[in-house]
Structures are given as structure tokens and as C-alpha cells.
Structure 1
Amino acid sequence: MLRKLLILAVFAGTSASIPIVYQSNPQLVENLLRSAVPGKQAVEAQPNVNLASVPNKPPAPLPMGRKVLVAADERGHFSSPFKLNGRQVDGMIDTGATLVAINISTARRIG
């Protein structure tokens, strides 16, 4: 049991000292790693860059009938112009609402 504990301590000490040695002398560590791999010369490799293209999205189908498609703005809100009582009114859509609400000034303006 003592032998296993001693081997574990040696491995822990060695693995803890590798970053310290690399920080103090990175050239030494790189030379040791190069000498450990026989037969391969250090070659400056150009990175292989593959540019990806974004596929074109097919146009979204337009809704039919009394449905409209409203996109969210940069804040994530849905707002659009509406016709209330035949007049154009800008409004915000509450996707969870069960009732339509307008303020008094808008109600007076549209009649």
C-alpha cells in the first residue's frame, strides 16, 4: 500500500512540475517534445481554412385569409400598424393576451 502511495505522489509531483518548467523555459520543453518524435522534421504548416457558406433560406410562406405574419423587432417585441374602426393605429402584440386593450386617447382619436 505504501508503494502505491509513493508512486502516486511521484506522478502527482511530476505532473504539477511540468507547467512550472514550461513557464520558465518553453524552448526546452518544445525541444524535448521534438526529440521524442523521431523522423519528423518541424514543418511550418499553413492552416487549412475552409469557408462555409450559409444556405439560402426558402421564403416563408405567406399566411392566407385573415392571418398576418409579424416579425419581432431587435428587442423581441412584436409591433405592427393596425386598422381599428377604419383608422391606422400602431400597436404592440401581447402573444399571451385574451383581450384587446387600447388607452383612452387612442379610443377618442379613432372614434
Structure 2
Amino acid sequence: MPKTSSPLTRCSLKVTERLLLLDLGEVRRVRSQDGPCLVRYLVVVRERGPYGPLLAREGVAAAQALVYALPVDLLEFSFDARGLSLPGLRFYACEPEFVETPLYAWLEG
């Protein structure tokens, strides 16, 4: 039986005290709690408010980013082939059987 790879194996992850940035490598179709969207980046920031300058410093086009503002320690994450998890947020590699958190997104197709 051939082994299939996760769609997240080609992603890159950067984490700082102010920002968690998951680069999907290309624009992908994603479904979130707010509906479908096309994004290249999943971004979690610590504070609400204008995050445009923070994204610009990282070279992230805001129009290509799905951004979540969460008051959590961004270093408290887990990331594997199934997805990315933070307190209150879960990003799945594919559509899950059920959603585990209030904020969520997954790769479509």
C-alpha cells in the first residue's frame, strides 16, 4: 500500500513571541469558521488591532493571509502532519470528522 504524504509536508512554520506564521507554499483553498477563502498564509498574532505592519515586516500580503488574534502564548503550539493546534484554534490538513475548537480552518481538496 503506498504511503500518502500530508498536504502540510511542504509548509514552513515560523514562531516568534508576537506572531505564528504557517506558509502553505502557495495559495490554497481553505475553509474556516467564517467560510471558504483563498490563502497562502495562516497567521496568529497575540494582540488585536492593526497587524498590517507586522505582516509587512514578514513579507506577508494581508490579502493572502487568514489572520487570528489570540491572547495565548504562541509557543504553546503543536504541529504535525495532521495540522496545527493552539489553545482555541485548530488548523487541519484536511476536513475533520468533527471540529475540536471554536476557531478552525482546514485545507480543501
Higher share in helix = 1
TM-score normalised to structure 1 length: 0.19
The higher relative CO (CA closer than 8 Å, separation ≥ 6) is in 2
Structure with larger Rg:
1
Higher share in strand = 2
TM-score normalised to structure 2 length: 0.20
